[in-house]
Amino acid sequence: MSFFLTLTPTVPYWRLQMTQIFQLAFHNQLVFRWFHRTIPPGTPSSPADLSPDRTRWWLRVLTLYSLNPRVTQLLAIKGTRVIGCAQWLVPPHLARRQSLFERVYCLVLQLWHDLQTRLFPPRWLNIKHWEMRGHTRNSQKDPWQDVLGDEEFHRVHILDIVWVAPEEQGRGVGTALIQWGLERARRMQMGVVLATDIGGMTEYYAKFGFRTFDMWRYGDEDGSVERNLMIWKV
């Protein structure tokens, strides 16, 4: 294995690298495109091809995710580069403790992001779709809680997202990122759920023992998205 997994990266600019990988890996996927009013023609092949404006916006979003006490971001590192990341969410009762400073810092960042999104939204962002997916502070309930019910919701981890640098795909990076979380869930005698695009990705997760149990459908006159909901149990 030419890479290693870590929760505490020391790679310079790791947040920027992670953000660029996210955009490159998801550029052509349905949900990612759904958040954008326009996607430039062609598929970006390197960070140099990415829009600075969009990169800054997604960098802020992924930074906020990493500060969420329920979120664990596991990174795959190769040399001085981040080549992949998995974002895991634990139930609220397993969230890590935050100091008063951390809570205030997160609150200020969240308020600033919400203010910018509402008053000065990026021209390319479909804000209606962004809010429809629950990406606002007004969302009082996790959408997974509605699907699973209160009791089951507290018994599962959520594999929120996995992304791997395009040039590193097919080399076991995604497998290592997923198996790390499954092993953690297994030790805690908990399940794992995820939402994924219908088709090839559903088949990919089935190889790890996930099975489809429901489907999310959301959309409006601008388009719609269907995603398979999958679950893994010990």
Mean residue pLDDT of the chain comes to 90
| Residue 230: predicted pLDDT | 97
Structural domain boundaries enclosing 84? 4-232
Number of domains present in the structure of the chain? 1
User: Each residue of 148-172: pLDDT tens digit?
Assistant: 999 999 999 999 999 999 999 999 9
| Residue 39: predicted pLDDT | 87
Residue 190 has pLDDT above 70, yes or no: yes
Rounded to whole angstroms, how far apart are CA atoms 161 and 88? 7
Give the pTM.
Answer: 0.91
DSSP strand pairing (223-232 vs 156-164): unpaired
Find the CATH number of the domain harbouring 209.
3.40.630.30
| Residue 137: predicted pLDDT | 46
Averaged over 20-33, what is the pLDDT?
91
